[in-house]
Amino acid sequence: MSETRHHESDSQLSVRLCATEKDLEETRALFSAIFDFGPFPMWISDHKGTCLRINEALRRTWGVEDQDVIGKYNMFDDPVVKEQGFSPLLNRVFDDGESVTLRIEYDPVQFNQLTGAHREVKSVIEATISPQKNSLGEVISAIVLHKDLTPHQLMEEAKEKAITLMKQAQKREAVGLLVAGVAHEINQPLTYIRAVLECNLHDLTQQEIDLRVLGEECREAVKQVDRISCIIRHLRLFGRVETLSFREVVLDEILDSTLILVGHLLQANHITLKRDLQENLPCILCDPLRLEQVLINLFQNAVSALDTVEDKQIAITAVARDDLLILCFNDNGTGVRPDLQGRIFDPFVTTKKVGQGMGLGLSIVYGIIKEHDGDIQYYAEKQGSTFVITLPLKRAPNTPPES
């Protein structure tokens, strides 16, 4: 009887063992199918980082064959991995059993030598390395999954380039709109200088030169030449392609520089400017030309909004509170339609007529303010619009305030 039970027990154990082996074999087959025919390039390394196996996606995507890398490629020996300082992260995989993700950048020569591909651009590869452990918890291998971020990187670079070109296009548009006013600002002192020269030439002919008067008129002419030079220099600075250059500046200086370019625009459109800046405002750490571009865009938008208004007014106020500068720019123009107010800072959103603007001005304003770790908000008034800009006082962008 006991022998029968023992025989049955052995028989049941054998059945269970066969079933377990079958399940294990099916699991292995499933893993192999997922590994070999999965959509992402993958490979398996031994416990020292040497390639043991690669999948079809890796062969297809990178153009490599088994004999090129199996037993030959070791991630610890990869010069690019070493150069970009990823060796400590690899140690965390094989020594500590942690999964890590690396973002590796290869120049075309490095990538092509490594993979046999024929790329002409920088490659950006995201590699996720996951350790595989035995029953004792020892790392015996690692699965490496690659994600090629190169197309995404190229799209981002193209996007940045397009944004830069659009900014320059919008700036050229702004300069074009300012030209008439700037021409007037230059023509006034030139007219004065011409009159002085003609009068003095006449006096020389008549031998009626008064040296004291001549000296005063020459000094005034020099001032007018300096005025012209200042306007031209400022217009050239504003129109150039510049990189961010931060320095400590008071807001009054930025507003004065802006009015050199837009002052006549306000006069020509009979706009009254009310300027109320707190006395002795602290400095802000900023790129003055970028903030000047912000103000010029706001002025130009306000001039358009005031086109059909009789009593045209723009008011600028500024105060310092805690560690922030708060600037309010208000006009009593026609305002922004309710359906556009929530998208006012989006690219290509405009309240102007077709052909009068690209709709980039406020999106560029928004980007510049964010570059300065600031904020800008739009508020619709009963009549007109208010933009409220906040900027940090005397602190470089992207740096935390002192504790």
Q: What are the tens digits of pLDDT across the range 246-277? A: 889 999 999 988 888 788 888 888 999 999 99
Is residue 245 within 8 Å of residue 287, measured between CB atoms? yes
Q: pLDDT tens, 339-360? A: 787 787 876 666 655 445 555 6
pLDDT value at residue 220: 79
**Comparison of pLDDT for 180 and 261, the residue scoring more:** 261
pLDDT value at residue 178: 62
**Comparison of pLDDT for 299 and 204, the residue scoring more:** 299
> 330 pLDDT band (50/70/90 cuts)?
very high
pLDDT value at residue 395: 54
pLDDT value at residue 219: 82
CATH 3.40.640.10 is right for the domain spanning 245-403 = no
What's the mean pLDDT in 86-96? 91
Mean pLDDT (the chain) is 80
Q: Residues 38-148: name the CATH superfamily.
A: PAS domain (3.30.450.20)
Is residue 360 within 8 Å of residue 170, measured between CB atoms? yes
pLDDT value at residue 181: 58
- pTM strictly above 0.85: no
Q: Which helix (H) or strand (E) holds 207?
A: none
- The most distant pair of C-alpha atoms in the chain lies apart, rounded to whole Å, by 149
What's the mean pLDDT in 93-119? 83
**Element counts in the chain: helices (H) and strands (E):** 12, 12
What's the mean pLDDT in 384-402? 73
Q: pLDDT tens, 67-80? A: 888 898 898 988 88
Task: State the Cα–Cα distance between residues 88 and 90, nearest whole angstrom.
Answer: 5
What's the mean pLDDT in 88-114? 87
**Comparison of pLDDT for 88 and 111, the residue scoring more:** 88
Task: State the Cα–Cα distance between residues 315 and 129, nearest whole angstrom.
Answer: 59
* Percentage of the chain lying above the pLDDT 70 cut: 80
**Comparison of pLDDT for 288 and 260, the residue scoring more:** 288
Cβ-proximal residues to 83 (8 Å cutoff; 6+ apart), any chain: none
Is residue 42 within 8 Å of residue 58, measured between CB atoms? yes
**Residue-wise DSSP of 251-286:** HHHHHHHHHHHHHHHHHHTTPEEEEEEPTTPPPEEE
Spell out where 241-362 has E strands: 247-249, 272-277, 284-286, 313-321, 324-331
Is residue 170 within 8 Å of residue 212, measured between CB atoms? no
pLDDT value at residue 402: 45
**Comparison of pLDDT for 111 and 87, the residue scoring more:** 87
Cβ-proximal residues to 394 (8 Å cutoff; 6+ apart), any chain: 248, 282, 283, 284, 285
Among 2.40.128, 1.25.40, 1.10.3470, 1.10.287, what is the CATH number of 152-241? 1.10.287
pLDDT value at residue 35: 79
Task: Check whether 334 has a pLDDT greater than 70.
Answer: yes
| Spans of all domains in the chain | 1-33, 38-148, 152-241, 245-403
Q: Which amino acid is at 121?
A: V
